[in-house]
């Protein structure tokens, strides 16, 4: 078997020009092929050399080139005093005729598009835009940019969204979810298993169901007309709570309409009789009872 010393001897100048040369990948051309700085030379060659298909050029690779047809072909990169690759890393990616299965996480820094669906068995992180007809992740979902999903989105863990979120299908977070985005748009349905925290407010055009735990809206949440937010254990609002509807009910009391009789709830004059005061107090007590605020 040929070793490193034998290769060096083959490349040493002698009476007959060697069939092999050593060099370093000093740069890459626009489409990824190698620019070679040959040993003993000061400037890299501007010629684009062919290479074997099983070698992928990388910067600073020490490569062996074989002379053929008046030029050179890159045989591959040289390794010395380095343990050979046992192939374990390549087992994280399984290829067949129809799909690529990633058994480890997927880290995307640019644009990720899925025309049909995307399934990730590990964590999914994206600092750019995530777009697809459906997304499913058994772990946590963390998106640094905008997230737009036309189909269903299911997350078994928690979720963190820093950008705007628009969704036209059903979305389910079995864990908690936190959002710092200024605009969240849930068109049909949002199901949250535990906490929902929205940092900069949210706009909701569909149904939201909170299964348990505390829901916190630091700057408020806007619910469109006709949208239903189902019962939750606790609603913690650190900003302003504004009710603009026509019906109200507390303590499991069926909501009732706001009274519109101005005379019945007008203020009393300073000369009101005891009987008038009693009637007025009873009127307001009955009003509180209708809302569930009095026993």
Q: How far apart are CA 234 and CA 83, in angstroms?
A: 58
Per-residue confidence at 99, pLDDT binned at 50, 70, 90? low
What are the structure tokens assigned to 216, written together? 């916190």
**pLDDT tens-digit series, residues 132-168:** 666 676 777 777 777 777 777 777 777 777 767 777 7
Q: Rounded CA gap, 221 and 241, in Å?
A: 9
CA distances from 109 to 126, 141, 158 (A): 6, 15, 21
> Which pLDDT score, from 0 to 100, does residue 54 have?
84
pLDDT score at 212: 62
Higher pLDDT, 54 or 190: 54
pLDDT, one tens digit per residue, over 18-61 is 789 999 999 999 888 999 999 999 999 999 998 988 888 999 99
The three-state secondary structure class of 136 is strand
The more confident residue out of 125 and 59 is 59
The answer to whether the beta carbons of residues 249 and 256 sit under 8 Å apart is yes
CA-to-CA distance for 42 and 150, rounded, in angstroms? 56
59 or 5, which is more confident: 59
For residue 284 the two structure tokens come to 């307001």
Give the pTM: 0.43
Instruction: Supply the CATH classification number for the domain 4-77.
Output: 2.40.50
- What is the percent of the chain where pLDDT is above 90? 18
Q: How far apart are CA 171 and CA 148, in angstroms?
A: 12
Q: What is the pLDDT of residue 198?
A: 66
**Which tokens belong to 209?**
């169901």
Domain locations in the chain as residue ranges: 4-77, 92-242, 245-295
- pLDDT band for position 186 (cuts 50, 70, 90): low
């Amino acid at each position: 078997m040929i070793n490193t010393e034998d290769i060096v001897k083959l490349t040493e100048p002698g009476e007959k020009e060697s069939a092999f040369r050593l060099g370093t990948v000093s740069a890459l051309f626009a489409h990824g092929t190698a620019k070679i700085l040959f040993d003993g030379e000061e400037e890299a060659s501007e010629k684009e050399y062919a290479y074997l298909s099983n070698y992928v050029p990388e910067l600073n690779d020490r490569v062996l080139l074989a002379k053929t047809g008046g030029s050179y072909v890159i045989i591959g990169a040289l390794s010395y005093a380095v343990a050979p690759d046992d192939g374990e890393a390549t087992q994280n990616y399984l290829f067949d005729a129809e799909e690529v299965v990633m058994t480890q996480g997927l880290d995307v820094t640019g644009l990720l598009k899925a025309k049909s669906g995307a399934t990730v068995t590990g964590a999914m992180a994206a600092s750019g835009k995530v777009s697809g007809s459906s997304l499913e992740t058994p772990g946590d979902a963390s998106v640094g940019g905008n997230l737009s999903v036309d189909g269903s989105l299911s997350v078994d863990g928690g979720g963190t969204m820093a950008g705007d979120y628009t969704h036209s299908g059903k979305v389910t977070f079995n864990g908690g979810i936190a959002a710092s985005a200024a605009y969240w748009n849930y068109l049909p349905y949002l199901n949250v298993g535990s906490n929902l925290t929205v940092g900069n407010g949210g706009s909701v055009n569909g149904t939201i169901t909170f299964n348990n735990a505390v829901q916190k809206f630091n700057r408020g949440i806007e619910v469109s007309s006709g949208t239903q937010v189902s019962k939750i254990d606790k609603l913690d609002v650190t900003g302003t709570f504004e009710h603009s509807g026509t019906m109200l009910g507390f303590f499991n009391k069926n909501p009732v309409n706001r009274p519109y009789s101005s005379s019945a709830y007008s203020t009393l004059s300073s000369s009101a009789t005891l009987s008038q005061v009693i009637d007025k107090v009873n009127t307001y007590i009955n009003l509180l009872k209708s809302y569930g605020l009095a026993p």
